[in-house]
Amino acid sequence: MHIHRYEKLWFGLSLLLIVGFVATVTFGAVGAGIKMVDDSGGTVDVDKIAGGNYEDANFAEPGVRQVDSGEYEAYVVARRFAFQPDPIVVPENSTVTFYVTSPDVVHGFEVVGTNANTMAIPGQVAEITVEVGEPREYGIVCHEYCGSGHHDMEGLLRVVPQDEFDGGSQ
């Protein structure tokens, strides 16, 4: 097969670029430790979540709880057309793990302007762990079409000073 030498050069550089991209993403995953949303959140029974039987479904009452020093977990239900709890209140400079599920259709959960971003799929629990910094408020939007009121589906994440955090679930 005759291949022009410029074309061979181009082919080689393209491959190098591709390998470079894969290496960068791999570094992000392994080196910088950016974990992908995966199957670690497990599955839940949709009807039980819809009926509010969170304990039965191996989920938890929507809310924020402390699990360790500086570590919190936030159980979030994304439903047509609101997030529970709203607002989600967490203390400053902490590590927060969100567990997000849906009792009805597919929703999105995006803390606006950050990389805290996941899908909420009925029957599945999305688990994402993020670091929060100084006190401030973030918007939360549903970024997957979920029905005629989709554009009204919003929430709030309030990062509050330690002394204003009431220490437990809402």
Partner 1 sequence: MSTDTPSFLDRYPEDAAIVRQAFLVSFVALGLGALFGIVQALHRTNILRIIQSADYYTALTAHGVLLVIVFTIFFLVGVYHWAITRSLERTPANRTFTKAWLGLMSLGSGIAGVTILLGFVPQIDISADVLFTFYAPLQAHPLFYAGLTVFIIGTWLAGADWFRTYLQWRRDNSGERIPLQAFMVLTTMVMWYIATIGVAVSVLFFLLPWSLGLIDSVNPLLTRTLFWFFGHPVVYFWLLPAYLLWYTVMPKIAGGRLFSDPLARVVFVLFVLLSTPVGIHHQYVDPGIAEGFKFIAMTNTMFLLLPSFLTAFTVVASIEHGARQRGGTGLLGWLRALPWRDPAFTGMALAGLMFAAGGFSGMINAGMNINYLVHNTLWVPGHFHLTVGTAVALTFMAGTYWLWPQLTNREIYSRPIALGQVVLWFGGMALMSNAMHVSGLFGIPRRTAEPQYTGFEFETAFGSVGELNIQLALGGTLLFISTLLFLGNLALSLDMPKTSGMGQTLPPALSGPTDSPRVLDNLKLWTAIALVLVVLAYVLPLGAIIADGGLLGSGGDAYPALVAHGLAVLPEAAGEAVARLLGVIP
Binding residues among 4-63 for partner 1 as defined by CB under 8 A: 4, 6-7, 10-11, 14-15, 17-18, 21-22, 24-26, 28-29, 32, 34-39, 41-47, 50
Peptide bond into 87 cis (omega under 30): yes
Q: How many residues sit close enough to partner 1 to count as binding (CB under 8 A)?
A: 76
Pick the piece of the chain touching partner 1 (CB under 8 A) from 59-67, 88-96, 109-117, 161-169. Answer: 109-117
Q: Where are the alpha helices (DSSP H) in the chain?
A: 5-30, 46-50
Residue type, position 58, single letter? N
Does residue 151 sit in helix, strand or coil?
A: helix
CB of 69 to partner 1, least distance (A): 27
Instruction: In angstroms, give the least distance from the CB of 131 to partner 1.
Output: 14
Residue 89 interacting with partner 1 (CB under 8 A): no
Q: Going by DSSP bridges, is the β-strand pair 82-84/71-79 parallel, antiparallel, or unpaired? A: antiparallel
Q: Which of 52, 63, 123, 135 binds partner 1 (CB under 8 A)?
A: 123
CA–centroid distance for 152 within its chain: 20
